[in-house]
Amino acid sequence: MSRGGEGSLSSEVAAIIGVLAILQVKHFLFDFVFQRPYEFFRHKGDYGHPSGIIHAGLHAVGSTPAFLVIAPSFWAGAAIVVGEFLIHYHVDWTKEQIERRFPLSPANKSLVLGADQLAHHLTYAAILAVLIPFA
């Protein structure tokens, strides 16, 4: 990556920061603003139920605006979308299984939610790793 003038970001670094910002805002919107009770109160822990599939699908498709900042090849973009869908779905399903199977204190429920969110954000680090060669 080339370096711009003193104190300025290279265009590649700016693009990476832009993609990260898009993914973070998308995550907030789809996990906290737009998620409906159908998704988070009902059936997300039932493997294969449409509520979890819809939720993970919205996340996967919601990441595609990042491709306007760093445009991957068709196959890399498809791999990102499919990979994010599969990972997001299974992270959420696992969280629901833990909460169903174990009697958790409020503190432990917060810990499980934190681990769930960490897994999602590490997914975004992986997406960036795939996109960086295209910057």
- Of the given ranges (48-52, 88-92, 125-129), which has the lowest mean pLDDT? 48-52
Query: Domain range spanning residue 15?
Result: 11-134
d(CA 130, CA 52): 25
Residue 18 lies in a domain: yes
Radius of gyration of the chain (CA): 17
Amino acid making up residue 23: L
The H or E element containing residue 78 is helix 74-101
Q: What percent of the chain has pLDDT over 90?
A: 80
Which position has the higher pLDDT, 42 or 60? 60
**Is residue 41 over pLDDT 80?**
no
d(CA 14, CA 84): 23
Residue 103 lies in a domain: yes
Q: Which pLDDT score, from 0 to 100, does residue 40 have? A: 63
Residue 83 lies in a domain: yes
Amino acid making up residue 107: A
Residue 95 lies in a domain: yes
Number of independent structural domains in the chain: 1
Residue 3 lies in a domain: no
